[in-house]
């Protein structure tokens, strides 16, 4: 069976939130949050997710500053993206994730999720919001196939 899903990653310094699209690329669902261990262990786990869920593309949240600049967090994610791209057999695309974590936190607060439970869920919900934004872009973009952030060009 051909790989059909898109995996989204919201990498933080301690955890990585993961979301997964459906086979048609219409919906984004939170999948998991995993604790970061080392670059090799993290990439091996992501590779396993790619295999297990028949992923055709990985979207990674790029924490671009509100002024559009790449600060230290974005530079760290860029290094992770480059290492991941070298280790997986599917394309890895950077996607502007400004405010997704704040939006996820606000959604969980409005849903009356306790602070303790939010801590474990917010990263994967942020990954789902990131993926939802990416899927919406794909569905509205011309069929040129170019859907990268300007920093990828």
Query: pLDDT tens across 62-78, in order?
Result: 988 777 788 888 899 99
Mean pLDDT over residues 52-62, rounded? 95
Distance CA 5, CA 15 (A): 22
Mean pLDDT of the chain, nearest integer: 83
Q: Does the predicted TM-score (pTM) go above 0.85?
A: no
Domains and CATH numbers, the chain: 5-152 (3.30.420.140)
pLDDT in tens, 14-29: 999 999 999 988 899 9
Phi and psi angles of residue 63, each rounded to the nearest 5 degrees, phi first: -80, 70
Task: Name the nearest CA neighbour of 88 among 62, 60, 115.
Answer: 60
Distance CA 13, CA 80 (A): 11
pLDDT in tens, 100-148: 666 667 776 777 767 776 666 778 888 888 898 899 888 886 654 444 4
Query: Is 9 in contact with 16 (CB distance < 8 Å)?
Result: yes
The residues, ordered by sequence, that sit 6+ positions from 73 with a Cβ below 8 Å of its Cβ are 63
């Amino acid at each position: 069976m051909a790989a059909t899903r898109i995996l989204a990653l919201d990498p933080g310094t301690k955890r990585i939130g993961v979301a997964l699209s459906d086979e048609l690329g219409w919906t984004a669902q939170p999948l998991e949050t995993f604790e970061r261990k080392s670059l090799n262990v993290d990439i091996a786990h992501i590779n396993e997710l790619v295999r297990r869920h028949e992923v055709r593309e990985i979207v990674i949240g790029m924490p671009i500053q509100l002024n559009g600049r790449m600060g230290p967090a974005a530079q760290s994610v860029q290094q992770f993206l480059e290492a991941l791209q070298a280790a997986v057999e599917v394309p890895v695309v950077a996607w502007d994730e400004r405010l997704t974590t704040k939006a996820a936190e606000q959604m969980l607060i409005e849903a009356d999720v306790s602070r303790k439970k939010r801590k474990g869920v917010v990263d994967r919900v942020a990954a789902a919001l990131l993926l939802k934004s990416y899927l919406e872009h794909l569905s509205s973009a011309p069929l040129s196939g170019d859907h990268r952030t300007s920093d990828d060009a």
